[in-house]
Amino acid sequence: MPYIYTLLSIILIRLRPIFNSPYYFSFFHRILPMAGSPDRLMDGIDIEAFLRQHLNEENTANLKRIEYDVPTIMAICGRVKEILLSEPSLVEFGVPIVIVGDLHGQVDYGSSVGQITDGSACQIRDLLRILDRFSDGKTHGCLCMRFVFLGDYVDRGFHSLEVVMTLFALKILFPNCYGLLRGNHETRSLNRIYGFYQEMKERFQDLDTAEEVYLRINDVFDCLPPSALIGGKILCMHGGISPHLKSLDDIRAIARPVGDLTNCALLADMLWSDPAANHPNGLFCPNTTRSQSVYYGQEAVDNVIQKLGLSCIVRAHQFVSCGTAFYNDRKVISIFSANSYNADIRNHGACLYVDDKGRITIKSFFTSLFSDTISRDEDLALHEVQLNDDSWMSQAGGEKNNDDTVDPNHNSTETSA
């Protein structure tokens, strides 16, 4: 009998891409409790139990960091690296799907104003709220929906390791339903300075162990794909477009792993470039704010969208106080998902939900020390895809603004993140 369960489990694993939702796979594991798949049980590690530890808000609401076993981290990193390298540099997803921007260790308002000084604010709870927001009844949202994360998982906040381990576990269990893209902070040159390396030294008192874990996770970061294509029409990346981007095949041709971004100008631009608020009508010019990469103007955006047959570009990379910002008549959408990242502005976070018709809805949220999460949806009717004939329609006349956290007329991005 155990052999039958194992055989059925293997068959269901192979069929998982057909179902296109992690819910089915989780359901089959519940009705086949004896079936241990390579994804669920890895080197003696129960990945589902590992993930449940992170999804349990009680574990993250007690102001304590999760204590990790170093061999477990190493094994998880090894498996995720294998999965990422089996994917193309341009990963493709259907709809519906959720797009998530910068997380940055999920900085929480409490830690921003110094209420918690030991680095143990409940910052990962914001990631959990994003996942849980798409729950269906008793089924957790992480089992109901596909997600694409646009990078910058680490630095700034105090729970970078929890955020990374949660996403790695989801990627192992549901590789076809979770897209993890690379941000500019998934590089050693930044995350050694802006908090992640310091967090490793705090959590692993032995410096050799801290260095080993830090380097192992960065080895995985080197393998993250830079871009995702949703519904064949929405191009996602962390930073933006590049003068080296002539076709989607240019992205597909990026060979990973890439440790040194100077060896790939296209990749560097996709992680670092910004829309040009002060150079709106041009092509490309040097990015003087970041002292590297480029600004891209409206003409550059128009050319890329027309040449690649896109509807819009979704990117992260810049702090925006309301969670979303728009550029060039909403052809570029910037999202920032770390709510209350800035103690002075107390910004909202946001993610995008693309439904099965290609309609984009902004999901914004805000958490303070004095209230639970305040969540609002803003359906701007930005784009709608007719999936049957692969044509997209812009619905400029259908826009509305009944949510003061989102300004549809805000046509530029804000400060760097």
Return the pLDDT at 322.
80
56 compared with 297, residue with greater pLDDT: 297
Task: Write the CATH number for 71.
Answer: 3.60.21.10
Q: State whether residue 352 is helix, strand or coil.
A: strand
Q: Is there a domain that residue 229 lies in?
A: yes
Q: Domain count of the chain?
A: 1
Return the pLDDT at 400.
25
Burial classification of residue 132, based on how many CB atoms lie within 10 Å of its CB (0-12 exposed, 13-18 middle, 19 or more buried):
middle
Lowest mean pLDDT among 16-30, 60-74, 125-139, 359-373: 16-30
Q: Are 387 and 393 in contact (CB under 8 A)?
A: no
Tell how many helices (H) and how many strands (E) occur in the chain: 14, 19
Return the pLDDT at 57.
62
Q: Is there a domain that residue 241 lies in?
A: yes
Q: Is there a domain that residue 115 lies in?
A: yes
* pLDDT one-digit tens code per residue, 20-50: 455 444 444 433 333 334 457 777 889 999 9
Q: Are 293 and 269 in contact (CB under 8 A)?
A: yes
Return the pLDDT at 4.
55
Report the alpha-carbon distance of residue 244 to residue 249 in Å, rounded.
11
Average pLDDT over residues 91-107: 90
Tokens of 293: 């990469």
User: Taking the model in full, what pTM does it have?
Assistant: 0.81
Q: Is there a domain that residue 310 lies in?
A: yes
Tell me which range, 51-55, 221-225, 324-328, is most confidently predicted by mean pLDDT.
Answer: 221-225
Catalytic residues: 185
**pLDDT above 70 coverage of the chain, percent:** 70
Q: Looking at the chain, how many residues does it have? A: 417
DSSP for 367-402, written as a single string: EETTEEEEEEEEE---EEEETTTTEEEE-GGG----
On average, the pLDDT of the chain sits at 78
Q: Is there a domain that residue 6 lies in?
A: no
- Per the structure, the complete domain to which residue 276 belongs is given by 64-398
Per-residue pLDDT band at 413 (split at 50, 70, 90): very low
Report the alpha-carbon distance of residue 250 to residue 238 in Å, rounded.
16
Closest CA relative to residue 289, chosen from 417, 110, 145, 163: 417
Report the alpha-carbon distance of residue 280 to residue 296 in Å, rounded.
8
Average pLDDT over residues 282-302: 94
Return the pLDDT at 138.
79
Per-residue pLDDT band at 109 (split at 50, 70, 90): very low
Above 70 in pLDDT, residue 60? Answer: no
**pLDDT above 90 coverage of the chain, percent:** 53
Return the pLDDT at 370.
35
Q: Is there a domain that residue 124 lies in?
A: yes
* pLDDT one-digit tens code per residue, 134-164: 888 778 888 889 999 999 999 988 889 999 9
Q: Is there a domain that residue 15 lies in?
A: no
Closest CA relative to residue 80, chosen from 216, 271, 230, 189: 216
Return the pLDDT at 365.
74
* pLDDT one-digit tens code per residue, 309-368: 999 999 999 988 788 899 999 999 999 998 776 666 677 888 999 999 899 999 887 764
Return the pLDDT at 280.
65
Q: Is there a domain that residue 11 lies in?
A: no
